[in-house]
Chain A
Amino acid sequence: MARITPEEIKQIAALARLSLAPEEVVPLCRDLDSMLDYVGLLAEIDTRDIEPTAQIVPAASMLRVDKAGASFNTALALANAPASEGAAFLVPKVIEEEG
Chain B
Amino acid sequence: MTRSNVAANAFEVVIGLEVHVHLKTESKMFCSCAVCYGESPNTRTCPTCLALPGALPVMNAHAVELAVRAGLALGCEVRERSVMARKNYFYPDLPKGYQISQYDQPLNARGFLEISVEDEGVWTTKKVGITRIHLEEDAGKSIHEDGVAGADVSHMDLNRSGVPLIEIVSEPDLRSAKEAGAYLRALHDVICYIGVSDADMEKGQFRCDANVSLRLLEKAGSDEFGTRTEIKNLNSFRFVEEAIQAEVKRQKKILEQGGAIVQATLAFDRHAKQTRVLRIKENAHDYRYFPDPDLLPVAVDTMQIARIRAALPELPTQKRERFQTQYGLSEYDARLLTASRELADFFEAATKEHGKAKSVANWILRDLLKLLKQHETDLVNLALSAATFARLIQLVEAGKITPKSAQEILPELAMRGGEPETLVAARGLEVVQDTGVLESAAAEVIAANPDAKERYLAGEEKVLNFLMGQVMKRTQGKASPAQVREFLIQKFKE
Contacts A54-B291, A73-B43, A87-B41; is A66 near B155 (CB within 8 Å)? Answer: no
B175 nearest CB across to chain A (Å): 24
Evaluate contact between B32 and A89: CB separation under 8 angstroms: no
By a CB distance below 8 angstroms, the chain A residues around B142 are 91, 94, 97
CA distance A86 to B462 in the complex (A): 75
CA distance A64 to B154 in the complex (A): 34
B235 nearest CB across to chain A (Å): 11
Most buried by A among B42, B139, B207: B42
CA distance A86 to B6 in the complex (A): 57
By a CB distance below 8 angstroms, the chain A residues around B92 are 89, 91, 94
Residue of B nearest to A85 (CB): B155
Does B189 interact with chain A (Cβ within 8 Å)? no
Contacts A86-B155, A96-B278, A99-B233; is A64 near B58 (CB within 8 Å)? Answer: yes
By a CB distance below 8 angstroms, the chain B residues around A94 are 91-93, 142, 144, 154
Does B470 interact with chain A (Cβ within 8 Å)? no
B461 nearest CB across to chain A (Å): 67
CA distance A88 to B84 in the complex (A): 30
By a CB distance below 8 angstroms, the chain A residues around B158 are 77, 89
CA distance A74 to B142 in the complex (A): 16
Does B293 interact with chain A (Cβ within 8 Å)? yes
A50 nearest CB across to chain B (Å): 16
Tell me which residues from 1 to 34 in chain A have a Cβ below 8 Å from any Cβ of chain B: 11, 14-15, 17
CA distance A78 to B288 in the complex (A): 30
CA distance A92 to B157 in the complex (A): 14
Instruction: Give the interface size class of chain B.
Output: 35 or more
Instruction: Tell which of A54, A62, A88 touches B143, judged by Cβ atoms closer than 8 Å.
Output: A88
CA distance A40 to B64 in the complex (A): 40
Evaluate contact between B61 and A64: CB separation under 8 angstroms: yes
Instruction: Give the interface size class of chain A.
Output: 35 or more
Contacts A77-B158, A85-B155, A98-B91; is A55 near B32 (CB within 8 Å)? Answer: no
Evaluate contact between B90 and A17: CB separation under 8 angstroms: yes
CA distance A7 to B456 in the complex (A): 101
Tell me which residues from 63 to 112 in chain B have a Cβ below 8 Å from any Cβ of chain A: 63-64, 81, 83-84, 90-93
Contacts A54-B293, A67-B27, A90-B156; is A74 near B33 (CB within 8 Å)? Answer: no
B122 nearest CB across to chain A (Å): 36
By a CB distance below 8 angstroms, the chain B residues around A64 are 27, 32, 58-61
By a CB distance below 8 angstroms, the chain A residues around B291 are 54-55
Residue-wise, chain B 202-241 has the 8 Å CB interface mask toward A (1 for contact) of: 0000010100000000000000000000001100000000
Tell me which residues from 123 to 143 in chain B have a Cβ below 8 Å from any Cβ of chain A: 139, 142-143
Tell me which residues from 21 to 76 in chain A have a Cβ below 8 Å from any Cβ of chain B: 54-55, 57, 59-74
Evaluate contact between A68 and B32: CB separation under 8 angstroms: yes
Evaluate contact between A66 and B63: CB separation under 8 angstroms: yes
Contacts A94-B142, A97-B232, A99-B233; is A89 near B42 (CB within 8 Å)? Answer: yes
By a CB distance below 8 angstroms, the chain B residues around A73 are 43
By a CB distance below 8 angstroms, the chain A residues around B20 are 99
CA distance A64 to B31 in the complex (A): 8
Does B44 interact with chain A (Cβ within 8 Å)? yes
Residue of A nearest to B91 (CB): A98
CA distance A11 to B43 in the complex (A): 38
By a CB distance below 8 angstroms, the chain A residues around B43 are 71, 73-74, 77, 87
CA distance A15 to B233 in the complex (A): 25
Tell me which residues from 258 to 299 in chain B have a Cβ below 8 Å from any Cβ of chain A: 267, 278-279, 284, 286, 288, 290-291, 293, 295-299
Residue of B nearest to A87 (CB): B41
Most buried by A among B26, B144, B154: B154
Evaluate contact between A55 and B296: CB separation under 8 angstroms: yes
A79 nearest CB across to chain B (Å): 10
B389 nearest CB across to chain A (Å): 36
Evaluate contact between B25 and A90: CB separation under 8 angstroms: no
By a CB distance below 8 angstroms, the chain B residues around A54 are 83, 290-291, 293
A47 nearest CB across to chain B (Å): 17
Evaluate contact between A66 and B33: CB separation under 8 angstroms: no
By a CB distance below 8 angstroms, the chain A residues around B91 are 94, 98
By a CB distance below 8 angstroms, the chain A residues around B64 are 63
Evaluate contact between B27 and A69: CB separation under 8 angstroms: yes
Evaluate contact between B155 and A88: CB separation under 8 angstroms: yes
CA distance A67 to B119 in the complex (A): 47
Does B360 interact with chain A (Cβ within 8 Å)? no
Please give the residue numbers on chain A whose beta carbons come within 8 Å of chain B beta carbons, in ascending order.
Answer: 11, 14-15, 17, 54-55, 57, 59-74, 77-78, 85-94, 96-99
A-B contact pairs, 10 of them (CB 8 A): A15-B286, A54-B83, A60-B298, A64-B58, A64-B61, A71-B46, A90-B154, A91-B156, A93-B151, A93-B154
CB-CB nearest 8 A-B residue pairs:
A60-B299, A69-B32, A66-B62, A88-B155, A63-B61, A68-B34, A89-B156, A54-B291
